[in-house]
Amino acid sequence: MQESIDTGRAIAQGLSRNRLQTVTLLDAIAEHRFDAAFGGARRDEERARAKERIFSFRDAHGQWEPRAQRPELWNLYNGVLGPGEHVRVFPISNWTELDVWQYVAREQLDLPGIYFAHEREVFERDGMLYAASDVVERYPHEEPFSEWVRFRTVGDMSCTGGVRSRAATIEEVVREIAATRVTERGETRADDRVSEAAMEDRKRVGYF
């Protein structure tokens, strides 16, 4: 119950568990002395990620500084890293959400059911639908109700919302995404709504 209360307070203050995730990530990179970490971030997800390079340079503290990024001149790329420095590598950075789903459709990949429309208990906060759960504290006026939703992105349930949808197959999801004009994080991630620079601020302290 205390965890639920703490989570609710954090969300009310515009925070999430990203800080804990960041510490764990940086500790693992330091312990194993990795030169690179691969991720699935894409430029179309959010405006700070649009600034990313495919090779995203991070300093000895895991911090990201857009002005310190190196040009993507592949024949001249400077791959030298100093002690403790590393890069984050985003090989599908130029893919869009539609590209990802078209690839899933072509290869007929199996995905968790949460990515497809299903009926579940949700509550609404600031225009977003959150899964009703004991680990996310609700305010008194936030009554749960049943709705058909799917999740465009899967993350911490305290800051990740679903979207109203009846798209229950890969083909239906592809058609739905082709018609939308709102990015997945813009529509479903509360931690990106804290400020216009929310993602950039988190990345500056080591977030993936």
Is residue 119 within 8 Å of 146, Cβ to Cβ?
Answer: yes
| Residue 10: band (very low, low, confident or very high) from pLDDT cuts 50, 70, 90 | very low
Going from N- to C-terminal start, the domains of the chain cover 2-95+197-204, 97-192
Q: How does pLDDT run across 149-164, given as a tens digit for each residue?
A: 999 988 788 888 889 9
Residue 51's pLDDT is 78
Using alpha carbons, select from 78, 2, 90 the residue that is nearest to residue 54: 90
Mean pLDDT of 5-22: 56
Tell how strand 86-89 and strand 36-38 pair up: parallel
Q: Where are the beta strands (DSSP E) in the chain?
A: 36-38, 55-58, 86-89, 118-125, 128-131, 145-150, 163-164
* Encoded amino acid at 7, one letter: T
- 194 pLDDT more than 70: no
Question: Tokens representing 68?
Answer: 């310190």
Walk across the sheet containing 36-38 and list its strands. 36-38, 86-89, 55-58
Q: How does pLDDT run across 42-95, given as a tens digit for each residue?
A: 888 877 777 777 888 888 888 888 888 877 766 556 677 889 999 888 888 889
Residue 80's pLDDT is 78
For the full predicted model, state whether its pTM sits above 0.75.
Answer: no
Residue 1's pLDDT is 41
| Of the options 3.30.460.80, 3.10.20.310, 3.40.50.620, 3.50.30.50, the CATH number for the domain spanning 2-95+197-204 | 3.40.50.620
Rounded Cα distance between 95 and 40, Å, is 10
